[in-house]
């Protein structure tokens, strides 16, 4: 097995995934997993990726930097308000907003990279 790293900032696919779609994926997956595996869920502030059963989504979130995962977790899993996140992480509102947006972008880019790698592994053609 080759372990190749690709630059997640490199434009890989011409697919546009709106932030609202990604947030919905995170929320829906969390709800679905919590209902299916309530006693086995090991989701905490540092391990947002554990909400995903799909290995591609799991890896995409696992590759997001820790602080960005924390902000996403507090925003979408704990449903904390912006002011509460700021107090908890001792950051300004603009920093939290910026970190949350970066986290969504990193997750999106990681997904695109992993989907492309999966297609290449399966021998799919790109057009």
Q: CATH number, domain at 43?
A: 1.10.10
pLDDT at 78: 87
In a domain, 100, yes or no: yes
DSSP 8-state symbol, 125? P
In a domain, 120, yes or no: no
In a domain, 33, yes or no: yes
In a domain, 10, yes or no: no
Mean pLDDT, the chain, whole residue set: 78
Residue 12: C-alpha distances to residues 50, 108, 109, 111 (Å): 26, 11, 8, 10
In a domain, 5, yes or no: no
In a domain, 69, yes or no: yes
- What's the structural domain count of the chain? 1
61: exposed, middle or buried (Cβ count in 10 Å: 0-12, 13-18, 19+): buried
pLDDT at 125: 56
In a domain, 40, yes or no: yes
Residue 60: give the domain boundaries.
19-110
For 34-52, what is each residue's pLDDT tens digit?
A: 545 444 444 576 678 878 8
DSSP 8-state symbol, 39? T
> Sign of dihedral through CA atoms 90, 26, 23, 7?
positive
C-alpha 18/C-alpha 76 separation (Å) is: 16
Helical H segments across 13-92, by residue range: 19-36, 55-62, 66-72, 82-89
pTM, full prediction:
0.63
* Cα 43-45-50 angle, rounded to 5 deg: 30
In a domain, 43, yes or no: yes
């Amino acid at each position: 097995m080759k372990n190749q790293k690709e630059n997640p900032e490199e434009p890989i696919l011409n697919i546009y995934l709106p932030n609202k779609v990604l947030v919905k994926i995170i929320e829906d997956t969390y709800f679905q997993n919590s209902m299916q595996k309530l006693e086995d869920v090991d989701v905490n502030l540092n391990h947002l990726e554990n909400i995903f059963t799909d290995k591609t989504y799991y890896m995409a979130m696992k590759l997001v930097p820790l602080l960005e995962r924390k902000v996403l977790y507090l925003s979408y899993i704990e449903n904390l308000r912006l002011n509460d996140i700021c107090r908890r992480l001792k950051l300004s509102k603009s920093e939290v907003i910026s970190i949350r947006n970066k986290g969504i972008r990193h997750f999106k880019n990681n997904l695109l990279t992993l989907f492309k790698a999966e297609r290449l592994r399966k021998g799919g053609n790109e057009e």
